[in-house]
Amino acid sequence: MQVRSVATTPFNDQKPGTSGLRKRVQVFCQAHYLENFVQSIFASIAAPPGATLALGGDGRYYNREAIQIILRMASANGFGRVLVGRGGILSTPAVSCVIRKYQTYGGIILSASHNPGGPDGDFGIKYNTANGGPAPEKITEAVYAASKKIAQYRIIDAPDVALDNLGDSKLGDMIVSVIDPVGDYAELMESLFDFAAIRKLLSGGFRIKFDAMHAVTGPYAREIFVNRLGAPPDSVINAEPLADFGGGHPDPNLTYAHELVEALYGANAPDFGAASDGDGDRNMILGRQFFVTPSDSLAILAANAHLVPGYQQGLAGIARSMPTSAAADRVAAALDIPCYETPTGWKFFGNLMDAGKVTLCGEESFGTGSDHIREKDGLWAVLFWLNILAARKQSVETIVREHWARFGRNVYSRHDYEGIPGDAANGVMRLLHERFGEWQGAQLGNYRVLFCDDFSYTDPVDGSVSTGQGVRIGFTDGSRIVFRLSGTGTEGATLRIYLESFEPDVAKHHLDAQEALAELIGIALEISELRERTGRDRPTVVT
């Protein structure tokens, strides 16, 4: 088959964000757009001839077309084999699992995660390295640099590969192996958790509901919860992956997972509810009429890890992203293990896990995971909770309240202002940068400022430095306000305000987070001039 070199010119907007390159579908469908970026990846990763790649996506619109293009380009660029999920499907954690299990050189994931899909939605692409984790900044920067000077890409002329049948076929000199997207992942889960105990829990009247949000986790959830753990089939809802996610927003939070939320807050509610996002790496955990914040979830998993077979030997350490609450820090202190604070994005956890410094990682954005792979993992978190519930035989709410009683409660909320004009968002961030020197030691309402800074991180393993990771205002009582611009959106800017206070008093643990944080919310709006500068009087999404 003929390898062609196609002449192209650079696009100037192929800078990967928090998690790969995300753009509108129309942008990705432009001639040469995807090809330029894929060639820039290949130019930056120095794969030896004959190397193996993993490839799959969350099934969103343009997934199959993109896979055919990438396969033809991989063949033309000298790869020896590509492992691709049947139907082009692989969740983000499943890609990480496959890379590690089959020791591939790396992997390409097609997803815009929690962003809506469909012809008018978003598409995305991300490269993961041989450890199974998102490429570190050194690589994403090299990809961006390559994309700015690309002049040609390599591709072969060949008919489409049949993606729906398992097995091998040839594409030029390269082998395409279509693999079962679920099996390897389900087997890994079975090796970590006490499936027998969970099966017993589920057969004893404990009812669960999992919302796959018409995204990638449907087939995984069916195999694990229904086939392997014996849950009734209607325990998994919206289980059919659809190219437009059924018109929904595949983001597992109280706003977008409304069908699940209605079930868990309604009459005759199940005992446990959970949802995952577009590509299966996020999770939301609900009890009956009870929401577990992701920051608390990380802390609770850590505090109960000794109940779970895969973690009984103890935790090396915990890592959380900077805006994530300090609830996990308190557990780490009690366990006498280190706790690391990293910038937002899973790529910063990889080095810590590879070096054996941490076992559990988490982000406030509904992401939790461990060193079993190098991505956050939605179903893993759900199974971890089910394992704890099976061992403790208490309700979700009781487990959380007992946790707060022991460690205190880190009251937490995130307010997102989505789709605001870039100028207004940058204006707010600039103002905060200009002013935060003045606030050092200041009294703002009932709070005294302990420190203000723009978070920067030095990786303890390779010494690389990441600056500009969010403005933090810390108060003397441990409360915090953090401002950050999102790096995953595709339209306008999204400004995130993260709010946290610490409440040791059990008598106040029943308070609603928005009530408990009301004064901090007021301070955040005032010092940032957010209302004046954006014309918004309330956040788009509160989590």
Residues tagged active-site: 113
Comparison of 181 and 270: residue with beta carbon closer to Co ion: 181
Give yes or no for residue 277 binding Co ion (CB under 5 A): yes
Query: Which stretch, 72-80, 215-223, 340-348, 403-411, contacts ligand VG1 (CB under 6 A)?
Result: 340-348
Comparison of 123 and 346: residue with beta carbon closer to ligand VG1: 346
The answer to whether the beta carbons of residues 61 and 25 sit under 8 Å apart is: yes
DSSP string covering 189-212, please? HHHHS-HHHHHHHHHTT--EEEE-
CA distances for 536 relative to 418, 486, 529, angstroms: 10, 17, 11
Give yes or no for residue 128 binding ligand VG1 (CB under 6 A): no
- At residue 365, φ and ψ (nearest 5 deg) are -85, 40
Name which of 301, 294, 276, 278 is nearest 224 in CA terms.
276
Query: Which stretch, 78-86, 106-114, 258-266, 283-291, contacts Co ion (CB under 5 A)?
Result: 106-114
- At residue 356, φ and ψ (nearest 5 deg) are 75, 20
Least distance in Å: CB of 491 to ligand VG1?
12
Query: Which stretch, 5-13, 93-101, 109-117, 289-297, contacts Co ion (CB under 5 A)?
Result: 109-117
Name which of 201, 62, 197 is nearest 119 in CA terms.
62
- Phi-psi domain of 284 (left: phi exceeds 0; alpha: psi -120 through 50; beta: other): beta
Least distance in Å: CB of 251 to ligand VG1?
8
Give yes or no for residue 488 binding ligand VG1 (CB under 6 A): yes
When binding is defined by CB under 5 A, the residue of 35, 211, 281, 503 that contacts Co ion is: 281
Comparison of 223 and 277: residue with beta carbon closer to Co ion: 277
Give yes or no for residue 488 binding Co ion (CB under 5 A): no
Least distance in Å: CB of 488 to ligand VG1?
3
Residue 6, judged by CB atoms within 10 A of its CB (0-12, 13-18, 19+), counts as middle
Comparison of 277 and 296: residue with beta carbon closer to Co ion: 277
When binding is defined by CB under 6 A, the residue of 75, 113, 413, 528 that contacts ligand VG1 is: 113
The site that binds ligand VG1 (CB under 6 A) totals a number of residues, namely 18
The site that binds Co ion (CB under 5 A) totals a number of residues, namely 5
Give yes or no for residue 344 binding ligand VG1 (CB under 6 A): yes
How many of the other CB atoms lie within 10 Å of CB of 49? 9
Round the CA-based radius of gyration of the chain to a whole number and report it: 23
When binding is defined by CB under 6 A, the residue of 60, 64, 86, 114 that contacts ligand VG1 is: 114
Query: Which stretch, 171-179, 263-271, 361-369, 468-476, contacts ligand VG1 (CB under 6 A)?
Result: 361-369
Amino acid identity for residue 402 in this structure = E
When binding is defined by CB under 6 A, the residue of 86, 214, 282, 403 that contacts ligand VG1 is: 282
Comparison of 161 and 284: residue with beta carbon closer to ligand VG1: 284
DSSP letter for 17, please. B
Residues 298-327 that bind ligand VG1 (CB under 6 A): 321
Copy the structure tokens of residue 526: 């005032």
Tell me the per-residue interface mask from 491 to 530 with ligand VG1, x by CB under 6 A, - otherwise.
Answer: -----x----------------------------------
Angstrom distance (rounded) from CA 118 to CA 247: 8
Angstrom distance (rounded) from CA 332 to CA 324: 14
Angstrom distance (rounded) from CA 241 to CA 161: 21
Give yes or no for residue 412 binding ligand VG1 (CB under 6 A): no
- Three-state DSSP class for 97? helix
What distance lies between CA 180 and its chain's CA centroid?
Answer: 23
Q: Which neighbouring-strand residues pair with 415? A: 497, 542
Comparison of 126 and 282: residue with beta carbon closer to Co ion: 282
The answer to whether the beta carbons of residues 487 and 17 sit under 8 Å apart is: yes
When binding is defined by CB under 6 A, the residue of 3, 486, 529, 536 that contacts ligand VG1 is: 486
Angstrom distance (rounded) from CA 155 to CA 1: 10
Give yes or no for residue 371 binding Co ion (CB under 5 A): no
Q: Measured at CB, which residue is nearest to Co ion?
A: 113
Give yes or no for residue 113 binding Co ion (CB under 5 A): yes
When binding is defined by CB under 6 A, the residue of 78, 80, 118, 487 that contacts ligand VG1 is: 487
Q: Measured at CB, which residue is nearest to ligand VG1?
A: 113
What distance lies between CA 244 and its chain's CA centroid?
Answer: 19
- The enclosing H or E element of 524 equals helix 518-528
Least distance in Å: CB of 107 to Co ion?
15
The answer to whether the beta carbons of residues 444 and 527 sit under 8 Å apart is: yes
Give yes or no for residue 279 binding Co ion (CB under 5 A): yes
Angstrom distance (rounded) from CA 196 to CA 363: 29
When binding is defined by CB under 6 A, the residue of 18, 410, 466, 534 that contacts ligand VG1 is: 18
Angstrom distance (rounded) from CA 68 to CA 35: 11
Name which of 140, 61, 63, 138 is nearest 95 in CA terms.
63
What distance lies between CA 107 and its chain's CA centroid?
Answer: 17
When binding is defined by CB under 6 A, the residue of 14, 19, 217, 413 that contacts ligand VG1 is: 19
Give yes or no for residue 490 binding ligand VG1 (CB under 6 A): no
Least distance in Å: CB of 447 to ligand VG1?
25
Least distance in Å: CB of 265 to Co ion?
25
Give yes or no for residue 123 binding ligand VG1 (CB under 6 A): no
- At residue 127, φ and ψ (nearest 5 deg) are -105, 135
488 binds, among Co ion, ligand VG1, none (CB under 5 to 8 A by kind): ligand VG1
Give yes or no for residue 122 binding Co ion (CB under 5 A): no
The answer to whether the beta carbons of residues 113 and 488 sit under 8 Å apart is: yes
Comparison of 91 and 528: residue with beta carbon closer to Co ion: 91
Comparison of 288 and 496: residue with beta carbon closer to ligand VG1: 496
Q: β-pairing, 272-276 with 208-211? A: parallel
Q: Which positions lie near ligand VG1, rule CB under 6 A?
A: 18-19, 113-114, 277, 281-282, 321, 344-346, 363, 365, 367, 486-488, 496
* Residues making contact with Co ion (CB under 5 A): 113, 277, 279, 281-282
